[in-house]
């Protein structure tokens, strides 16, 4: 089961082991363009946008088992809540 923390109206956190498919589904359902990522220790590790995931989803190497941490590679800066628009 996917864990999604609703921190406030502009910030959704998910674990980085979530699949791209589930992340895209959550974004669509919540009507957001970004998710904040957390590692297994619940520490923020970065963020991901719907557009970034769409690019990976269209890749010929993509499968529905690809996890967020696999497509993002190195840790990235976390978006500030004010920079996420709904």
Residue 70 is inside which H or E element, if any?
A: helix 68-72
Handedness of CA 80, 30, 86, 9 (dihedral sign): negative
For 2-15, what is each residue's pLDDT tens digit?
555 544 445 789 99
Task: Kindly tell me if the per-residue pLDDT of 74 is higher than 70.
Answer: no
Q: What is residue 3's predicted lDDT score, i.e. its pLDDT?
A: 53
For 18-72, what is each residue's pLDDT tens digit?
999 999 999 999 999 999 998 888 888 888 999 999 888 888 888 888 899 888 7
């Amino acid at each position: 089961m996917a864990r999604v923390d609703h921190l406030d109206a502009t910030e959704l956190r998910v674990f980085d082991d979530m699949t791209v498919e589930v992340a895209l589904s959550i974004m669509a359902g919540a009507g957001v363009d970004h998710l904040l990522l957390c590692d297994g220790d619940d520490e923020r590790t970065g963020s991901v946008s719907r557009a970034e995931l769409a690019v990976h989803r269209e890749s010929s190497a993509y499968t529905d088992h690809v996890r967020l941490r696999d497509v993002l590679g190195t840790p990235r800066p976390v978006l500030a809540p004010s920079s996420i628009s709904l």
